[in-house]
Amino acid sequence: MDIWIVTTDLHDLELLLDSKVPILVVESFEEPRVLEMITRLAVNRTSPLYTWSATEGLHRLGFGDGLSEDEDAREPENVLKIIKEANATSIYVLCDFHPYFKDEPVNIRLLREIAMHHHNLGHTVILLSHELDLPNELKRYSARFELSMPTEDQLMNLVREEASNWSKSQGGIPVRSDKATFNQLVQNLKGVPLQDARQLIRGVIYDDGAIGESDIPALNKAKFALMDMEGVLSFEYDTAKFTEVGGLTKLKSWLEERRNTFMDDNDNLDTPKGIMLLGIQGSGKSLAAKGVAGMWGLPLLRLDFGSLYNKYFGETERNLREALKLADMMSPCVLWLDEIEKGIGVVRTIQGFPKEYWAPYSHGCRRGKASRLSLRPQMTFLNSLPNWFEKDDWTKSSSLTCRTKL
């Protein structure tokens, strides 16, 4: 099977075409991969396929007679008029059309008329961009399609392919690595598209012809940068070894016993979901959080609760949901919740968060097995946890509260 084409993606996209949705929205940086999939489906369905871009205008892909060169077909408004007036049922892929919806009521109306007359025209318009916020007038006529992330087997094959390419370019010199580091590299590549995964693999191999343990932190940092995750989350590059952390013998034992459980995808095991670190300033809470990531060889993401709060209604909840979503994309990882007392104080104050703000967090803890997030709340001082926090089932079975002392 072509590594760029996933059977499930083809099936899901074909189902959407069969359902005769007038407008399909595809958000992806992998434009060549998406176009290849659509072309394959169009050939199988013997449907005419046209693509448009601001630089190339409108032209036909796949098979059949193409369109005559027309300078007017480069203009967004004109290409929508051409689609509206076309008689033959076709598939139209409009690449990077997102800028032409802003303050462009004519374009919105034209596309809406194409969608409303779908039962007569039968056209399917596919909007392909890296990001697209569809106007409200068009949402009810549309559906969204997302490319699946590469599987572990695909990532393994991709690493071997890039290692083979490097070896050939160096006269047959093999890439140096060991099985444990190779597997860790594959695990940390999860959550990124194939195109980005290839770029990250090349950055590791082409540096010195080796896949070493020292390459993993740099890989995680590059992955974080590719995902454009800066904001309320920050990537902690330097992670300590637990040999640098004095005491905390029970914590070290708890982590060592659960390391394999967390790293393995075993539905029959209870995956660890979090640790609560309590102590005064300077007692080693931050060092312990970094030590967990270093011990497990995972990326460490820091979420500062001071940066979550926003005075506008709904923005605080949105920031928390977005932060957990981005951390989920980096999984498996360690999520360090710094100064958590700013968010879960029992008394509602202007500096605290109401209970409902924590619904996404509590949900994230419960589904930690699926996303493989290891949550590390850190607290300087708190008289008592809220009742709803203490009574959650996840705090009893799969978490640990640890007090640090000077």
Predicted local distance difference test score (pLDDT) of residue 195: 83
Give the C-alpha separation, 149 to 143, whole Å.
19
Q: Phi and psi at residue 387, in whole multiples of 5°?
A: -55, -40
Predicted local distance difference test score (pLDDT) of residue 87: 86
Predicted local distance difference test score (pLDDT) of residue 93: 94
Predicted local distance difference test score (pLDDT) of residue 128: 94
Mean pLDDT of all residues belonging to the chain: 76
| Residues 50, 67 contacting (CB under 8 angstroms) | yes
Q: Tell me which fold the domain 7-145 belongs to.
A: Rossmann fold (3.40.50)
Predicted local distance difference test score (pLDDT) of residue 72: 67
Predicted local distance difference test score (pLDDT) of residue 378: 54
| Residues 342, 305 contacting (CB under 8 angstroms) | yes
Name the 3-class secondary structure at 121. Answer: helix
Which CATH superfamily is 242-403 part of?
Answer: P-loop containing nucleotide triphosphate hydrolases (3.40.50.300)
Predicted local distance difference test score (pLDDT) of residue 400: 56
Predicted local distance difference test score (pLDDT) of residue 347: 44
| Residues 353, 343 contacting (CB under 8 angstroms) | yes
Predicted local distance difference test score (pLDDT) of residue 245: 73
Give the C-alpha separation, 26 to 357, whole Å.
31
Give the C-alpha separation, 346 to 359, whole Å.
15
Cβ-based neighbour number of residue 231 at 10 Å = 11
Predicted local distance difference test score (pLDDT) of residue 111: 93
Over residues 233-258, the pLDDT tens digits come to: 777 777 777 777 777 788 888 888 87
Predicted local distance difference test score (pLDDT) of residue 38: 92
Under-50 pLDDT residues of the chain: 1-4, 66, 68-69, 346-353, 355-356, 358-359, 363, 365-371, 373, 379-397, 405-406
Predicted local distance difference test score (pLDDT) of residue 9: 83
Predicted local distance difference test score (pLDDT) of residue 51: 93
Q: What is the DSSP string of 240-289?
A: --GGGS-S-HHHHHHHHHHHHHHHS--TTS----EEEEE--TTSSHHHHH
Q: Where are the domains of the chain?
A: 7-145, 152-228, 242-403
